[in-house]
């Protein structure tokens, strides 16, 4: 919401446009791409954002056009893992990230996956191992930390994705972009206004909210959900701890509501 507040006109327009498109499910998938269920909502929001960004910052548009095309290969970073400072920084950064990763990239992604796709054999152990292996491999190639985010999956599903081919297609596009147009990506992403980014995050959060609204949760589960959400607005780490403690108390009957 802070991103939308910082760019109120564009943010409000983008949110309204997203809600209109989400309410017209038959518009969200191009018939020629039905086999891969190509989402249209996010590209529409991005196209609007790029148009506004080009008008606001024409110098970035010129930089995008003038940047030469060249292939850039990743530079392995594994040798630097032996430096003591790297491990110290990794531990310090990882400790602060654990509550968010634990909640969103392990518990959240498993719960959302089982709700949307009950037949998928996914549990918290597989999600945790996958996250660790992915970051060891990607970090060694110079990539930033990554995770299986529940918000990202909810946004893709809200935009029409229904099979594993959708993230495969998206990943292939990003991989090719990183190899061949990485010089243009910085300017291209910088063109996206904060209002557009806020609207895209709103779509993901809205999809997760809708997913819990129609569930058959009992009052104790809803109490844990709402308490965790309320605390996480202030601090994600505190929210996870409070939610786990509250759930433990309710299960042990030390607390009744």
What's the mean pLDDT in 133-152?
81
Say which residue, 128 or 151, is predicted with more confidence. 128
Asked if pLDDT for residue 217 goes beyond 70, the answer is no
Within 8 A by CB and 6+ apart from 54, the residues are 60, 61, 191
Q: What is the pLDDT of residue 30?
A: 41
- Label residue 76 by pLDDT band (50, 70, 90): confident
At residue 28 the predicted structure's pLDDT band, cuts being 50, 70 and 90, is very low
pLDDT of residue 212: 57
What is the per-residue pLDDT across 182-201, written as a single tens digit (0 to 9) for each? 778 878 888 889 888 888 87
Q: What is the pLDDT of residue 246?
A: 84
pLDDT at 38: 37
pLDDT over 50 (residue 29): no
Sign of CA dihedral 84, 78, 125, 114: positive
Q: Are 151 and 145 in contact (CB under 8 A)?
A: no
**Whose CA is closest to 135, among 169, 93, 176?**
93
Tokens encoding 64: 């995008």
Residue 115 confidence (pLDDT) above 50: yes
Give tens-digit pLDDT for 14-27.
888 887 776 654 44
Among residues 41, 65, 107, 53, the alpha carbon closest in space to that of 240 is found at 107
């Amino acid at each position: 919401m802070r991103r939308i507040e910082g760019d109120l006109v564009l943010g409000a327009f983008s949110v309204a446009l997203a809600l209109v498109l989400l309410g017209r499910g038959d518009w969200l998938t191009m018939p020629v791409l039905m086999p891969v269920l190509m989402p249209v909502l996010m590209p529409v929001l991005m196209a609007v954002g790029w148009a506004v960004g080009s008008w606001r910052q024409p110098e970035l548009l010129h930089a995008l056009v003038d940047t030469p095309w060249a292939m850039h290969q990743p530079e392995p970073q594994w040798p630097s893992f032996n430096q003591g400072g790297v491990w110290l920084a990794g531990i310090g950064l990882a400790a602060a990230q654990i509550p968010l990763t634990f909640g969103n990239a392990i518990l959240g992604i498993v719960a959302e996956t089982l709700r949307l796709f009950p037949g998928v054999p996914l549990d918290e152990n597989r999600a945790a191992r996958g996250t660790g292996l992915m970051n060891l491999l990607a970090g060694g190639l110079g990539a930033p930390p990554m995770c299986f985010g529940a918000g990202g999956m909810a946004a893709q599903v809200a935009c029409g994705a229904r099979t594993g081919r959708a993230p495969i297609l998206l990943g292939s596009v990003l991989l090719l972009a990183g190899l061949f147009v990485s010089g243009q990506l910085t300017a291209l992403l910088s063109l996206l206004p904060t209002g557009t980014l806020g609207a895209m995050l709103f779509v993901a959060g809205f999809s997760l909210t809708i997913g819990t609204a129609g569930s058959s949760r009992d009052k104790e589960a809803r109490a844990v959900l709402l308490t965790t959400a309320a605390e996480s607005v202030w601090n994600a780490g505190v929210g996870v701890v409070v939610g786990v403690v509250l759930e433990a108390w309710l299960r042990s009957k030390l607390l009744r509501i």
